[in-house]
Chain A
Amino acid sequence: MKYAKRNDGRKFNETRPITAEVGVIKNAVGSAKFQIGKTIAIAAVYGPNNVFPKFLQKPDRAILRCNYNMMAFSGSGDRVRPGTNRRGKEIGMVIEKAFENILDLSEFPKAAIDVFIELPQTDAGTRCAGICAASLALADAGFEMKDLVCAISCGLVGDQVVADLDYSEEAFEGGSVDIPIAMTPRNGEITLLQLDGEISKEDLKKAVEFGKEACLKIYEIQKQVLKAKYEETKQ
């Protein structure tokens, strides 16, 4: 089905408006809020923490634990039942994988670094917003990182490749394909990739290109808010 014009009037490769802030949770070691369109993600980092039971400890490095959670009132339809669910667990796991190679976990043998991601409002692209927030929170906490991680969901709406699908596009009656991508912009490496739907290789290439472009834009915003925090401190 044809998708000639986006519901909110954006260009096909354009993301929704993005705002970000670090240091939003005082108790945490590092924290951030990342909002893209109407999707809001808050991330808090605690640690290095002790790991119990002990057999989960890694003798040579820290383990990274990511917890992804939608608040009960954050869904577009019915209430989301609080507590763990399979979807949240899987997303938490792929987010861990998106960061494991970026952090220097060998600095904290036997310990754990905990990342908690909460979503007070969702409008698609939640895991990507969560990753962008987590990346800022880890940097805010002062953990050594090879690069920031940026993430965006690209895909196909009807016959059109687009960047940053919102909920109305994900639910497009002519079908949609959702491809969350996370990357480290400096070397262009992809640390998370998922896909649901049916897409040609050419369209996938274009979607990844859109993803790269959007991630670079997010990268600039992330660097800016991190720098802003320290400029504030200086004054």
Chain B
Amino acid sequence: MIVSKEYMESIIDQNKRIDGRKFDEYRKIEVEYGISPKSAEGSARVKIGDTEVLAGIKMELGTPFSDKPDEGSIMVNVELIPMASSLFESGPPSINAIELARVTDRGIRESKALDFKKLCVREGEKVWLVFIDIYPINADGNLFDACYMAALAAIKDANFPVLEGDKINYKEKGKEKLPLTKMPISCTVWMIGEKFLVDPTQEEELASDARLSIVILENGKICAMQKGGSMALRAEEIFKMIDIAEEKTKEIRRYFK
């Protein structure tokens, strides 16, 4: 269903949403771990309403960056495959896919949730590279939060591969968990006209003017943000959005206990 922006704004102006939810209400969230246990080091499925995202972790050995010889790293990739929506096309990653991947990457990297030092095998020579591949398979809005949650759940599910010398032994499954030391949670707050809302459906997203993704740690500190959409925001609006995200991330956090 595609709803015109004018119609969507008129509904929102009456303090209503087309599916009857409150402005700060998420759809049903489901997190399932280990959806690809044979092949992936860690994997998860996250559903938010009809939006469904799969994420999986593969790990490879690589050489560290010269300025961080004792740290491994992560690589986040989002594929907006045409299976998920008639709005997506085959081909190289679109700018939307790249933004989703980079915002997810920053939330995990900048919060230092994953201890990169513990991904070091031999300083200056060998470190673990953690590939986080994210596939929305049904897109119905709010991919920012869904992709982020799927990535976090896949990391939570992941074990180190088994090493034999400097080679990975893929025949065995490791038992040691990845060093996930903190739980940064993401919430994206959207603006349609003058109103703030969370977890938009696809048609709400198409009618929106601005969004702000905010990643918040358990101690209340903010560790990543990204503003999207072409409408300018006033500072007090941004702080209002942060207040909403603070409340919502508390709720979302319980899915990652």
What per-residue 1/0 map shows which CB atoms of B120-136 lie under 8 Å from chain A? 00000000000101010
The answer to whether B39 and A118 touch across the interface, beta carbons within 8 angstroms, is no
- Provide the residues of chain A in CB contact with B43, threshold 8 Å: 73, 120
**Residue ID in chain A nearest B134 by CB atoms:** A72
Task: Establish whether residues A73 and B56, one from each chain, have CB atoms under 8 Å apart when the complex forms.
Answer: yes
For A118, what are the chain B residues with a Cβ–Cβ distance below 8 Å? 81, 83, 135, 137
> Do residues B38 and A42 form an inter-chain contact, with CB atoms below 8 A?
no
**Which residues from chain B contact A44 at a C-beta distance below 8 Å?**
83, 137
Given that A74-B56, A82-B77 are contacting pairs, would A116 and B138 also be in contact in the complex, using a CB cutoff of 8 Å?
no
Are B140's CB and A27's CB within 8 A?
Answer: yes
Contacts of B57 in A (CB 8 A): 73
Which residues on the B side are within 8 Å of A27 (C-beta)?
50, 84-86, 138-140
Is the Cβ of B81 less than 8 Å from the Cβ of A116? yes
Query: A197 at the A/B interface (Cβ < 8 Å)?
Result: no
| Cβ contact of B83, chosen from A40, A84, A116, cutoff 8 A | A116
| Alpha-carbon separation in the docked complex, A148 to B32 (Å) | 32
User: Would you give the shortest CB distance from A209 to chain B, in whole angstroms?
Assistant: 29
The DSSP consensus for interface residues of chain A is loop
Q: Number of A residues whose C-beta is below 8 Å from B?
A: 31
B92 and A121 form a contact (CB under 8 A): no
Question: In the assembled complex, which residues on chain A have CB atoms less than 8 Å from the CB atom of B86?
Answer: 27, 46, 49
Q: 8 Å CB contacts to B: which residues of A6-44?
A: 25-28, 38, 40, 42, 44
- Nearest chain B CB to A23's CB is how many angstroms away? 11
Taken residue by residue from 119 to 146, chain A's Cβ proximity to chain B (1 for < 8 Å, 0 otherwise) reads as 0111100000000000000000000000
Q: Considering the chains assembled together, what is the distance between the CA atoms of A46 and B81 in angstroms?
A: 12
Report A-chain residues with C-beta under 8 Å of the C-beta of B50.
26-27
Residues of chain A lying within 8 A (CB to CB) of residue B54: 71, 120
Interface residues of A (CB under 8 A from B): 25-28, 38, 40, 42, 44, 46, 49, 67, 69, 71-79, 82-84, 114, 116, 118, 120-123
A-B contact pairs, 23 of them (CB 8 A): A25-B84, A25-B137, A26-B140, A27-B50, A27-B140, A40-B36, A42-B83, A42-B137, A44-B83, A71-B135, A73-B39, A73-B43, A74-B36, A74-B40, A78-B58, A78-B60, A84-B90, A116-B81, A120-B135, A121-B35, A121-B36, A123-B38, A123-B39
